[in-house]
Structure 1
Amino acid sequence: MISIIDTTPYTDQKPGTSGLRKKVPVFQQENYVENFIQSIFDSVAGYRGETLVIGGDGRYFNRETIQTAIRMAAANGFGRVLVGQGGILSTPAASHLIRKNRAFGGIILSASHNPGGPDEDFGIKYNVGNGGPAPEKITEAIYARSREIDRYATIDAPDIDLDKIGTSQLGEMTVEVVDPVADYADLMEKLFDFDAIRDMFAGGFRMVFDAMHAVTGPYAVEILENRLGAQPRTARNSVPLEDFGGHHPDPNLVHARDLYELMMSENAPDFGAASDGDGDRNLIIGKGIFVTPSDSLAILAANAHLAPGYSGGLKGIARSMPTSAAADRVAEKLGIGIYETPTGWKFFGNLLDAGHATICGEESAGTGSDHVREKDGLWAVLLWLNILAVRRESVLDIVTTHWATFGRNYYSRHDYEAVETDSANTLMDELRAKLSTLPGTSIDGLTIESADDFSYQDPVDGSVSANQGIRIGFVGGSRIVFRLSGTGTSGGTIRVYIERYEPDASKHDVETQKALADLIAAAEKIAGIRKHTGRSTPSVIT
C-alpha cells in the first residue's frame, strides 16, 4: 500500500561536493531523510521501472536509512533495487554496480572519511547513471526542491532482510540483496596482473592494510588475502563498525599514525596502505617513506602501463586544482592531455566519459581511473602492488627515481578545521578583495607573479564553476592555494596548500615543512590566518 505523507521543508539540505552531510541527530529529525530522498526523486525523470543501487559504508544510521530508501523507491515506481548485503557497499563498488547493471542511479549513504556514531556524521549522496556523483545542475535542483517539498511517497511493508543474499518483492518492485564484494573483486582481477602480485607475496613480500574498521575491510580480505595470497591478517581492523571503532576513518598521517610509525620502524613490512570510511581514499606508505597523494598520482600515471588494464597507455590525466603539478610533468613527457578541475570527483566524470582522461587524482588522497566514476582506494593500492611486482624495486627506490626523472614537487596541506563559519568566509572575502593588488609585490623575497580565484569551464559541456579556490603564484613556480572545504558537518575548514618545485635531485632530501617554510610564512602574511581564526597552528598537516 502506497502512502503519501504530508511534510514541511527544511532549509539546510544543500548538498556539498559529496552530497548532504550532517550530524546523525539532524538526519533523525522527523521526515528529514524522507524529504531529501523524495527531493532526489522529484529532481530526476524517467526512472519508472528502472534499477536503483543502494548501499553505504556501514556507519551508524546506515541500515535504518536504507530501509527508508527502499520503501520510497518502491512507492515512487522503481522496478528494481540492488542493495549490498548488510547494507554495505563501498563507494567505488556502488559506482561499478550502477555501471554494470545499467542502473538509473544510486543512493550512497556515507560521510566518507568523517567519524561515525550516534552523535557523529552521516551523509546521503546521489549518483547518476554513469556511476558518478550527480553534477551541479542536479544537486542544485535537489536543493531547490527540498526547500518547497510538501509530501513524500512511501510504502507500508516490513523491513527487508539485508543480511540474506537473495531476491524479494516489495509491492511491484524487486529487491535484490547482493554480495557487495564479488563484482568489484572480479573487476580488479581484470585490471591488474594478479599472477605477478601472487608471485610477489609468495616470495616473502609483506604488507599491512589498515581498513580502519570501515567499509573496505571485507574487500581487502577477499582480494589481498583470499585471491592474492597475502598473509592472514594482512588486512587489519577489517570488520566494519558503526562507529569505526571510535576512531576517525581518515587515512592520513594523523588518524593512521600507528601504520605510519610501523612503516618507519626497523621491522617495517615492504608496503603499507589504508583506506577511509567509504573506500574511496587511500594512504600509501613504503618502508621508510610516506608517498604524498600528489606524488602517488604522478607515479601511478607514469607506471600504469605495467598493469594489463592500462597497457595501451593513458588518454590523459586529470587532477584537482589544489593537487600538485607533479602529474603535469608526467603528462608532458607522455604527450597526453592534463586537465585541472575544481575539487570534487564529479568534475572528472565528463572527462572520463568523453575519453579525455584515464587516470584522475586529488591531493585529498583520492585516486582512480575510468573503470568507475568515483575515486577508488583499493584500486590505487592494487596498482601500486602491480607496479612493485613488475619493477621489483622498493617504494623508496621507485619514488626517488621518479623525482630524479621529473623533479620533486614539495607539497603540504594545512587544515584549520571547525573554524567559525563567518570567520572563515571573512578570511576568503578579504583575500578575494585584494587579489588584483598582489601581482608584482614581494613577501620576504618571494615575488608574487599571479593571483586569482580559480574558475573552471568544462571542456566537454561548457559549464562554468566559479570561485573554486584562491591561487597565489610566485616567480619560479611555487604557489599557495586557499579554499574552504565542503566535506565537513560543522563550521568551516580552511585548507591551505603549499607547493614548491625542485628540479635539482641533490636537493630532494630536505624535510618537507622545512623546504616550504618561507611559503608557509607567506601564507600567514597574505591571509591573516591567525587574526581571522585565532589559530597559531593548523589542526592537521598532511
Structure 2
Amino acid sequence: MIETVETTPFRDQKPGTSGLRKKVPEFQKRGYVENFLQSIFDAQEGYEGKTLVVGGDGRFYNEDVIQTAIRMALANGFGRILIGQNGILSTPAASNVIRKYKAFGGIILSASHNPGGPNEDFGIKYNGANGGPASETVTGAIYERSLVIDRYKTMDIPQVDLSRIGRVDVAGGVVEIIDPVADYADLMETLFDFAAIRDLFASGFRMQFDAMSAVTGPYAEEIFVKRLGADPAAMMNTTPLPDFGGHHPDPNLVHAKELYAAMMAEDGPDFGAASDGDGDRNLIIGKGMYVTPSDSLAMLAANAHLAPGYAKGIAGIARSMPTSQAADRVAEARGLPCFETPTGWKFFGNLLDAGKVTICGEESAGTGSDHVREKDGLWAVLLWLNVLAVRRQSVAEIARDHWATFGRNYYARHDYEALDTATADDMVAALRERLPSLVGRTFGNRTIRAADDFAYHDQVDGSSSAKQGIRVFFDDGARIVYRLSGTGTTGATLRVYLERYEPNDGNLSMQTNDALADLVTAADEIAEISARTGRVSADVIT
C-alpha cells in the first residue's frame, strides 16, 4: 500500500558538483532523505515501470538510505531496482550498470573522498540514463522542488536482504541484488590487454595498490589479483569499512602516505596506485616518482592507442579548466580537439555522448573515457598497466620521454581547507572586483596580461555556466586559478592552482615546489589570502 506522508521543506538541499553532501546527522533528520529523494523523482517524468540503479561506497548510513530508496522508488512507480550486493557499487561501476541494463537512472550514495562515520560525511547523487551525473538543468529542478515539497511517497514493506544476490518480488515491483564487481570487471577486459598485463606481472613486475578501506577493495582483488595475477599481499586496505578505518579516503600524498613511502623506498615496487572512497579517483606513483593527475591525463592520452579499446585512436581530449594544460600539448601535437570545461564530470557528459572526445580528466585525480560517464580510478590504473606492459619502461622513463616530446607543465594545487565561509566568499568577491585592475601589474619577473572569471558555453546543448573560477594569466604563459570547492561539508575550501610551462629544450628536472615558488608568493599577494584568512600556507598541497 502506497503511503503519502506530509512534509515541510528544508532550505539546504541544493546539489553541488557531485550531488548533495552533508554530515550524517543532517541526513538523519526526520524527512531529510525522504524529501531529497522525492524531489529527485518529482523532477523527472516517464520512469513508471522503468529500472533504477542504487548503490554506494559502503560508508556509514549507506544501507539505511538504500532501504528508504527501495520503499520510495517502488511507491513512485519504478518497476525494477538494481542494487549492488551489501549496498556496494563504485561510482564508475554504477555508471556502467545504468548503461548496460538501460536503466532510467541511478542513485549513488557517496561523499567520494570525504571521511565517513556517524558524524562524518554522506552524500546522495542522481545520475541520468547515460550513466553520468545529472545535468545542471536537472539538479536545478531538483533543488527548486526541494524548496516547496509538501509530501513524499513511501511503502510499509519488510527490509530487503542486501547480502543475498538474486531477485525478490516486492510490492508489485522487482528488487535485484547483483554482484557489484562482475559487470565492471568484464567491461575492463574488453578495453585492456589482460594477457599482456599478466605477462608483465609474471616477469617480476611489482605493484602496490591502496584501496583505502573503501569501495575499490573487492574490485582490486577480483581484477588485479584474480584476473591479472598481482601479488595479493600488495593489496592494501581492501575491506570496505563504514568509517574507512578512520582514514581519509582521498588518494593524495597526504592521505596515502604509506603507499607513497613504499614507492619512494630504494627497494620499492615498480608501480603504485590508489583509489578513493567511491572509486572514481586515482593516484599514480612510479618507483621514486609521483605523477600528478594532470600529467597522468596527458600521458594516458598520448599512449591510449597501446590498449586494444583505444587502438583506433581517440576522438579528442577534455579537461576541467583548473587542470594543467599538459593535455593541450598532446592534443595540439596529435591534431586532436581539446575542450576546457568547468569542474564537475557532468560537463564532460555532453562531449562524450556527442562523440567529440574519448578521454577526459580533472586535476583532482579524476580520469576516464567514453566507456562510462564517470571518472574511473581503476580504469586509469589499468590503462597505466597496459602502457607499462607494452612499452616495458618504468613510469619515470615514460614521464621523461613525455616531457622531452611535449615539454613540461609544472603544476600544483594548494588547498586552504575549512575556511570561514563568509571570509572566503568575501575574499573571492573582492578579487573579482579587482580583476580589471590586475592587468599590467608585475610580480617578480612576470607581468599579468589577462585576468577573468571563467564562463563556459556548452556547444552541445547550448547551456552556459558562469563564475567557474578566477584565472590570472602572465606574459610568459604561467597562470594562477582560484576556485572555491563545492565538495566539502565544513566551511569553505579555497583551491589555488599554479602552473608554468617549460619547453622540451628547457629545464625539465626541477622540483615542482622550486619551479612554482614565485607563483605561490604571487598567488597569496594577488588574492590577499594570508591577510584575509590568517593562513600562511596551504593545508594540503598536491
After TM superposition, the score normalised by the length of structure 2 is: 0.99
Task: Report what 1:472 is aligned to.
Answer: 472
* Superposed displacement of residue 233, structure 1: 2.6
Cα RMSD between the aligned structures? 0.6
Q: In the TM superposition, what are the counterparts of 1:78-157 in structure 2 within 5 Å?
A: 78-157=78-157
Q: What does the per-residue CA deviation read over 1:35-92, in whole Å, with 9 as the maximum and x for residues that have no partner?
A: 0000000001100000000000000000000000011000000010000000000000
Task: Report what 2:360 is aligned to.
Answer: 360
CA distance in 2, matches of 1:488, 1:462: 29
* Superposed displacement of residue 333, structure 1: 1.1
1:193 equivalent to 2:165? Answer no
Q: How many residues align?
A: 542
Task: Report what 2:75 is aligned to.
Answer: 75
CA distance in 2, matches of 1:511, 1:391: 26
* Superposed displacement of residue 534, structure 1: 1.2
Q: 205-214 or 502-511, which moves further after superposition?
A: 502-511
CA distance in 1, matches of 2:475, 2:368: 32
CA distance in 2, matches of 1:440, 1:504: 28
Letter of the structure 2 residue corresponding to residue 425 of structure 1: D
Q: 439-448 or 223-232, which moves further after superposition?
A: 439-448
Q: What does the per-residue CA deviation read over 1:1-25, in whole Å, with 9 as the maximum and x for residues that have no partner?
A: 1111111110000000000000000
* Superposed displacement of residue 506, structure 1: 4.9
**4+ residue stretches of structure 1 with deviation over 6 A?**
none
CA distance in 2, matches of 1:383, 1:445: 40
CA distance in 2, matches of 1:298, 1:505: 19
Letter of the structure 2 residue corresponding to residue 494 of structure 1: L
Give the conservation status (yes or no) of the 8 Å contact 2:406–2:504: no
Q: Which runs of 5+ in 2 are unaligned?
A: none
* Superposed displacement of residue 531, structure 1: 1.6
Q: In the TM superposition, what are the counterparts of 1:262-277 in structure 2 within 5 Å?
A: 262-277=262-277
Give the conservation status (yes or no) of the 8 Å contact 1:410–1:500: yes
Q: In the TM superposition, what are the counterparts of 1:360-399 in structure 2 within 5 Å?
A: 360-399=360-399
In structure 2, the residue corresponding to 1:507 is in which secondary structure? coil
Give the conservation status (yes or no) of the 8 Å contact 1:208–1:236: yes
Give the conservation status (yes or no) of the 8 Å contact 1:263–1:288: yes
CA distance in 1, matches of 2:469, 2:200: 43
CA distance in 2, matches of 1:144, 1:101: 30
Q: 514-523 or 275-284, which moves further after superposition?
A: 514-523
CA distance in 1, matches of 2:372, 2:477: 33
CA distance in 2, matches of 1:29, 1:57: 21
Task: Report what 1:279 is aligned to.
Answer: 279
Q: In the TM superposition, what are the counterparts of 1:250-269 in structure 2 within 5 Å?
A: 250-269=250-269
* Superposed displacement of residue 504, structure 1: 4.3
CA distance in 1, matches of 2:135, 2:334: 30
Give the conservation status (yes or no) of the 8 Å contact 2:413–2:497: yes
CA distance in 2, matches of 1:187, 1:313: 19
Q: What does the per-residue CA deviation read over 1:136-155, in whole Å, with 9 as the maximum and x for residues that have no partner?
A: 01111111111111110011
Give the conservation status (yes or no) of the 8 Å contact 2:92–2:279: yes
CA distance in 2, matches of 1:461, 1:165: 40
Task: Report what 2:293 is aligned to.
Answer: 293
* Superposed displacement of residue 444, structure 1: 2.0
In structure 1, the residue corresponding to 2:68 is in which secondary structure? helix
Letter of the structure 2 residue corresponding to residue 11 of structure 1: R
In structure 2, the residue corresponding to 1:141 is in which secondary structure? helix
Q: 184-193 or 435-444, which moves further after superposition?
A: 435-444
Letter of the structure 1 residue corresponding to residue 212 of structure 2: M
* Superposed displacement of residue 505, structure 1: 4.5
In structure 2, the residue corresponding to 1:388 is in which secondary structure? helix
Task: Report what 2:209 is aligned to.
Answer: 209
Give the conservation status (yes or no) of the 8 Å contact 2:89–2:215: yes
CA distance in 2, matches of 1:207, 1:214: 19
Q: Which runs of 5+ in 1 are unaligned?
A: none
1:491 equivalent to 2:491? Answer yes
* Superposed displacement of residue 234, structure 1: 2.6
In structure 2, the residue corresponding to 1:352 is in which secondary structure? helix
Letter of the structure 2 residue corresponding to residue 200 of structure 1: L
CA distance in 1, matches of 2:193, 2:532: 51
Q: What does the per-residue CA deviation read over 1:483-518, in whole Å, with 9 as the maximum and x for residues that have no partner?
A: 000000011100000000001445111111111011
* Superposed displacement of residue 99, structure 1: 0.3
CA distance in 2, matches of 1:176, 1:333: 48
CA distance in 2, matches of 1:75, 1:234: 46
